[in-house]
């Protein structure tokens, strides 16, 4: 894409879900590895072990995906967006850490926020990866590896996937406003992408292989909306510890553990009590803006390098679990 976007975002900050029971959702997210940041009437903020004051926002109401927030590089970027048709004025962000935001809605009605100036929290929690002895790169000498049972350590909100009518049109919309660029395309035929892995354009600075996956809503019965939400954990042990902990709590497993082909992440996916998919992942690819997009046939979409391939239910809404 050669057109100059209005701004180039740095990352995503948090999603917004809506569920009927905040107590039940908080219990699920505690098992998933998050911690309560703040609870207000009708809204719950959950954090990880990183500096972000929150990485998930959950509102009380009928189950729904409401939208998500991008992180802007500067306050001026918010003003540039606010001057464009369809964006709100820049206003204070009434949430832990403060900051500023502008917002718009995409063609499906999702609220897309762009935020800046959220104050990081002071954290002494360990978020370093555990030292490994692999090949000839020995990081741990004279000491055993001991891993305590418990939930994953959630590092940050990493990406999301959306079911959309036309992936190419969705990317064009997000590129024009926020600067997203393609990393990999899954094609039904040449020039006909049914899935687009897209990333933030940070120029010479590497970014995650994908910040948003735009997937055709054919697989979801023609229903646009949320496919899944994904949080980076601190290391591979956290993926596997998280799996054991979630299983011990009787949570609903969807897919994993495995290693993706596109993006390379080690992954594990779980359903919340209303069917929304939450992912743990680590060890993903990092690309700067010079890396061109790859093109792949449609049968590559479900492929894992190891572990199970994608189940037929993935990305689809399912009935709520029994509380």
Task: Spell out the domain ranges in the chain.
Answer: 11-121+154-306
Nearest to 213 by CA among 178, 176, 167, 172: 167
Beta bridge partners of 195: 186, 215
Average pLDDT of span 115-128: 92
Per DSSP, 292 falls in state P
Q: Locate 35 and state its tokens.
A: 């911690």
Judge residue 20's burial from the number of C-beta atoms within 10 Å of its C-beta, 0-12 exposed, 13-18 middle, 19 or more buried: middle
Q: How far apart are CA 280 and CA 282, in angstroms?
A: 7
Average pLDDT of span 261-285: 97
Q: Is residue 312's pLDDT more than 90?
A: no
Distances (CA, A) of 33 to 28, 37, 175, 230, 241: 9, 13, 32, 12, 10
Q: Is residue 229's pLDDT more than 70?
A: yes
Q: What is the pLDDT of residue 297?
A: 92
Average pLDDT of span 96-108: 96
Q: Is residue 1's pLDDT more than 60?
A: no
Q: Which residue has the tokens 């009787």?
A: 250
Q: How confident is the model at residue 320 (pLDDT cuts 50, 70, 90)?
A: low
Nearest to 310 by CA among 275, 280, 269: 269
Nearest to 246 by CA among 1, 8, 29: 29
Is the separation of the CB atoms in 152 and 280 below 8 Å?
A: yes
CB atoms within 10 A of CB 149: 8
Beta bridge partners of 159: 230
- For the ranges 22-26, 43-47, 136-140, the lowest mean pLDDT is seen at 136-140
Average pLDDT of span 285-313: 91
Q: What is the mean pLDDT of the chain?
A: 94
Is the separation of the CB atoms in 264 and 209 below 8 Å?
A: yes
Residue 273 preceded by cis peptide, ω within 30: no
Q: How far apart are CA 245 and CA 289, in angstroms?
A: 38
Its CATH architecture, for the domain 11-121+154-306, is: Roll (3.10)
Is the separation of the CB atoms in 14 and 69 below 8 Å?
A: yes
Beta bridge partners of 46: 36, 56
* Span 196-227, pLDDT tens digits: 999 999 999 999 999 999 999 876 677 789 99
Distances (CA, A) of 229 to 65, 187, 269: 10, 23, 9
Q: How confident is the model at residue 246 (pLDDT cuts 50, 70, 90)?
A: very high
Tell whether the torsion through CA atoms of 153, 65, 176 and 71 is positive or negative: negative
Q: Locate 103 and state its tokens.
A: 């917002």
Q: What is the pLDDT of residue 322?
A: 39
Q: What is the pLDDT of residue 323?
A: 35
Is the separation of the CB atoms in 96 and 38 below 8 Å?
A: yes
Q: What is the pLDDT of residue 2?
A: 57
Judge residue 183's burial from the number of C-beta atoms within 10 Å of its C-beta, 0-12 exposed, 13-18 middle, 19 or more buried: buried
């Amino acid at each position: 894409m050669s057109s100059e976007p209005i701004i180039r975002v740095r990352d995503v900050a948090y999603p917004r879900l809506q569920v009927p029971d905040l107590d039940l959702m908080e219990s699920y997210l505690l098992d998933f590895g998050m911690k309560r940041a703040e609870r207000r009437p009708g809204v719950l903020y959950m954090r990880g072990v990183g500096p972000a004051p929150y990485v998930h926002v959950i509102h009380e109401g009928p189950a729904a995906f409401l939208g998500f927030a991008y992180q802007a590089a500067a306050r001026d970027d918010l003003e540039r967006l606010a001057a464009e048709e369809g964006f709100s004025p820049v206003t204070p962000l009434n949430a832990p850490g403060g900051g500023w935001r502008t917002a718009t809605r995409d063609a499906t009605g999702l609220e897309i926020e762009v935020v800046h100036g959220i104050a990081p929290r002071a954290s002494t929690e360990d978020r370093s990866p555990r030292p490994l002895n692999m090949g000839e790169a020995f990081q741990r000498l004279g000491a055993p590896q001991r891993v305590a049972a418990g939930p994953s350590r959630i590092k940050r909100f990493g990406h999301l996937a959306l079911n959309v009518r036309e992936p190419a049109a969705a990317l064009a919309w997000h590129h024009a406003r926020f600067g997203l660029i393609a990393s990999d395309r899954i094609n039904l035929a040449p020039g006909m992408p049914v899935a687009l892995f897209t990333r933030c354009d940070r120029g010479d600075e590497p970014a995650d292989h994908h910040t948003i996956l735009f997937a055709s809503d054919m697989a979801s019965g023609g229903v646009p909306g949320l496919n899944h939400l994904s949080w980076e954990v601190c290391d591979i042990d956290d993926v596997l510890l998280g799996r054991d902990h979630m299983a011990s709590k009787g949570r609903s497993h969807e897919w994993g553990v495995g290693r993706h082909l596109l993006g390379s992440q080690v992954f594990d996916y779980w359903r919340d009590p209303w069917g929304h998919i939450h992912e743990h992942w680590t060890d993903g690819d990092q690309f700067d803006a010079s890396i061109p997009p790859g093109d792949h046939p449609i049968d590559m979409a479900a492929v894992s390098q190891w572990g199970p391939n994608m189940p037929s239910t993935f990305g689809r809404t399912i009935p709520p679990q029994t509380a």
